[in-house]
């Protein structure tokens, strides 16, 4: 069985949980010792006295207390903190449990290399004292929202120009050169800069910026910035404090007061209804895990490639009357993987979308959301500008005159470049499909294998795609996707010929729609035979209503745990739609998924 490897953000958030206090011996005071936290940063921490608000929340909760201290210098970078030595002296001065590191607000984007260099030096000092580093992942400036998640300077030139202007290097470095030098920071944004260094160092992250982005997207949105569009107002600081409370104590802040005092001094005074919403957002950012259903080792996936287009058209998704992000709804109901399709150039003549949906740029954005949600990610390469299926496998327009080695190179390079872009932003897929429903070949006419009989040509193209993916991520799992869920003879004939040509892949994916692929009994008979005949694991990578439970039971019940899981196809839009109505509300059909998680979790 493959394991879900998409745990980057979840793993970093989990590493921030601090189990420092030991259970007291008999007769000792039963209250745990206060958690001693040192904040090192600048005005983003000092404005509204964030450390004191964090300590006040812990005091109000009545559990473990948080004792805070600070070394804060307005506008200071981590580099300056290291070079003036005072921060290091402060780290060495006492026995801390946690040291919080906050970089200057722009540095992670405009000089990521420097941020990481001096983060390593400070973290080394923290480790010498036996303490834990927590990075304070900050927010984007109000007028530069792309700072949070980053953007490709080639596709967001205004963002690049603004950051270039702020960097102050215009007299020595031209824009194009600077963008190349700082591309990692520009593309990764604040999230990437903090999460990547935290992963490298085994540190934790307080995802304040992620929580801010969530709060700014609510309806109505919260106002979190000061008029200077940079620093936090009291509401922004309160949200940050809730994130730190949840991160440091691994406890939900929901239910804590909105008014925090230190003696006679009022540190925060947020109306109760707003405080509750902010607390829920903070907890959702720190603990983005299902609330209804525990994770299942069996893949329960959904292809939601239409969602970006639906959202742009105004669709808002709701579960039992509560509006939520689509990924939250799916996770709440037991889904743990997402599948996305990507075309070569969907804006080409006769392409999939004149607005570019399911191109690289849209895929990068959606992949970030999937990664941030802690879900597994399957990428479906349609080697075409439009739909690829058993009756329609048209070459991309740009490849129309390519054949032989040139076409193989195009497949290889396209696959490699998509994978590299996803990996660069920390959202590489766990599984890739080399083509979509390639039962009758792909990249016609060259790869129209049943018509041409040239299995060497067709399989050379498959191998080129696999090589392109593996060169970027040797651990990625590769899938061959057929549309013969109930057709055993055809499935065997295809696989025998492909394997004879030396095609090496990890997973066999099948589509199953009863009107094209036979009865449930035929599906079961086919998959049972394939599971016993071939070494590859098996998935039903496309299906829909009806018979959700029956299809999943068949795959789950394959011998030797060869059935990895399933992906329902476009449940927000197709066949009804399957799990959502036309307004984006969940339908009763979705209720089968939490039950499957429960049942399958017990059986494995």
Is 437 annotated as catalytic?
A: yes
> What gap in Å lies between CA 353 and CA 105, rounded to an integer?
37
Residue indicated by tokens 């404005």:
47
8 A C-beta contact, residue 140 and residue 209: yes
The whole-number pLDDT of residue 288 equals 55
pLDDT tens digits for range 499-544 = 999 999 999 999 999 999 999 999 999 999 999 999 999 999 999 9
Q: Which residues of the chain have pLDDT under 70?
A: 1-31, 288-296, 602-604
Q: Which residues contact 145 (CB under 8 A, 6 or more apart)?
A: none
Q: Would you tell me how many other CB atoms lie within 10 Å of the CB of residue 546?
A: 13
Of 542, 561, 575, 589, the catalytic one is: 542
> What gap in Å lies between CA 31 and CA 17, rounded to an integer?
18
The whole-number pLDDT of residue 272 equals 93
| Domains 34-152+188-286 and 333-574+581-586 are alike in CATH topology | no
pLDDT tens digits for range 461-505 = 999 999 999 999 998 999 999 999 999 999 999 999 999 999 999
Return the ∠ at Cα 310 (arms to 307 and 313), rounded to 5°: 150
Assign residue 441 a region: left if phi > 0, alpha if psi is -120 to 50, beta otherwise?
A: left
Which CATH topology does 333-574+581-586 take?
A: TIM Barrel (3.20.20)
Assign residue 317 a region: left if phi > 0, alpha if psi is -120 to 50, beta otherwise?
A: beta
Of 437, 471, 550, 575, the catalytic one is: 437
Q: Which two tokens stand for residue 379?
A: 């990428």
The whole-number pLDDT of residue 152 equals 87
The whole-number pLDDT of residue 374 equals 87
Pick the CATH number of 34-152+188-286 from 3.90.1200.10, 1.10.1270.20, 3.40.50.1110, 3.40.50.2000: 3.40.50.1110
Domain ranges of the chain: 34-152+188-286, 333-574+581-586
Instruction: Report pTM.
Output: 0.56
Is 589 annotated as catalytic?
A: no
The whole-number pLDDT of residue 31 equals 58
In the chain, what are the helix, strand and coil shares in percent, each to the nearest 5? 45, 15, 40
> What gap in Å lies between CA 204 and CA 362, rounded to an integer?
29
8 A C-beta contact, residue 507 and residue 301: no
The partner residues of 165 in beta bridges, in order of sequence, read: none
Q: Which residues contact 371 (CB under 8 A, 6 or more apart)?
A: 6, 8, 9, 377, 426, 427
At 112 the three-state DSSP class reads helix
Q: Tally the residues of the chain.
A: 604
């Amino acid at each position: 069985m493959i394991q879900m490897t998409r745990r980057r953000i979840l793993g970093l958030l989990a590493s921030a949980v601090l189990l420092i206090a030991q259970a007291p011996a008999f007769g000792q005071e039963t209250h745990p010792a206060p958690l001693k936290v040192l904040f090192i940063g600048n005005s983003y921490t000092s404005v509204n006295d964030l450390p004191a608000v964090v300590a006040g929340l812990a005091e109000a909760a009545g559990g473990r207390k948080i004792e805070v201290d600070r070394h804060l210098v307005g506008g200071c970078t981590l580099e300056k903190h290291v070079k003036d030595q005072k921060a290091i002296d402060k780290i060495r001065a006492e026995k801390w449990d946690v040291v919080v590191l906050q970089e200057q607000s722009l540095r992670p984007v405009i000089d990521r290399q420097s941020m990481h260099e001096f983060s390593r030096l400070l973290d080394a000092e923290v480790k010498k004292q036996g303490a834990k580093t927590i990075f304070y992942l900050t927010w984007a400036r109000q007028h530069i929202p792309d700072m949070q998640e980053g953007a490709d300077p080639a596709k967001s030139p205004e963002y690049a120009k603004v950051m270039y202007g702020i960097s102050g290097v215009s007299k020595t470095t031209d824009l194009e050169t600077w963008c190349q030098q700082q591309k990692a920071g520009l593309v990764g944004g604040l999230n990437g800069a903090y999460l990547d260094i935290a992963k490298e160092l085994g540190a934790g992250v307080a995802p304040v910026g992620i929580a801010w982005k969530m709060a700014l997207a609510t309806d109505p949105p919260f106002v979190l910035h000061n008029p200077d569009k940079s620093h936090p107002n009291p509401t922004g600081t309160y949200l940050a404090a809730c994130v730190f409370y949840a991160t440091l104590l691994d406890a939900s802040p929901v239910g804590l007061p909105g008014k925090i005092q230190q003696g006679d001094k009022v540190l925060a005074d947020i109306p109760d209804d707003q405080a509750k919403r902010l607390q829920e957002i903070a907890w959702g950012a720190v603990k983005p895990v299902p609330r209804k259903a525990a994770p299942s080792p069996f893949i329960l996936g959904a292809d939601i490639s239409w969602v970006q287009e639906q959202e742009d058209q105004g669709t808002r998704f709701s579960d039992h009357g509560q509006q939520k992000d689509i990924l939250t709804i799916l996770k709440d109901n037991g889904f743990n993987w997402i599948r996305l399709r990507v075309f070569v150039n969907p804006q080409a003549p006769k392409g999939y979308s004149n607005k570019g949906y399911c191109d690289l740029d849209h895929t990068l954005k959606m992949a970030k959301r999937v990664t941030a949600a802690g879900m597994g990610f399957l990428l479906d390469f349609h080697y075409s500008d439009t739909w690829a299926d058993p009756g329609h496998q048209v070459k991309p327009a740009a490849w129309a005159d390519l054949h032989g080695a040139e076409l193989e190179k195009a497949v290889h390079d396209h696959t490699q470049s998509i994978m590299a872009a996803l990996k660069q932003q920390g959202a590489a897929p766990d599984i890739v499909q080399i083509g979509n429903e390639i039962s009758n070949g792909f990249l016609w006419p060259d790869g129209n294998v049943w018509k041409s009989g040239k299995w060497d040509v067709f399989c050379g193209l498959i191998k080129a795609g696999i090589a392109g993916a593996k060169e970027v991520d040797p651990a990625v799992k590769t899938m061959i996707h057929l549309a013969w869920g109930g057709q055993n003879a055809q499935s065997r004939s295809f696989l025998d010929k492909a394997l004879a040509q030396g095609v090496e892949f990890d997973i066999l994916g099948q589509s199953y729609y009863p009107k094209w692929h036979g009865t449930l009994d035929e599906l079961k008979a086919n998959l049972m035979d394939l599971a016993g005949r071939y070494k590859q694991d098996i998935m039903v990578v496309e299906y829909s209503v009806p018979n959700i439970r029956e299809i999943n039971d068949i795959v789950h019940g394959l011998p030797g745990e060869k059935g990895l899981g399933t992906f329902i196809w476009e449940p927000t839009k197709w066949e009804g739609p399957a799990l959502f109505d036309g307004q984006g509300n969940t339908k009763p059909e979705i209720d089968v998924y939490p039950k499957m998680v429960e049942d399958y979790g017990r059986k494995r």
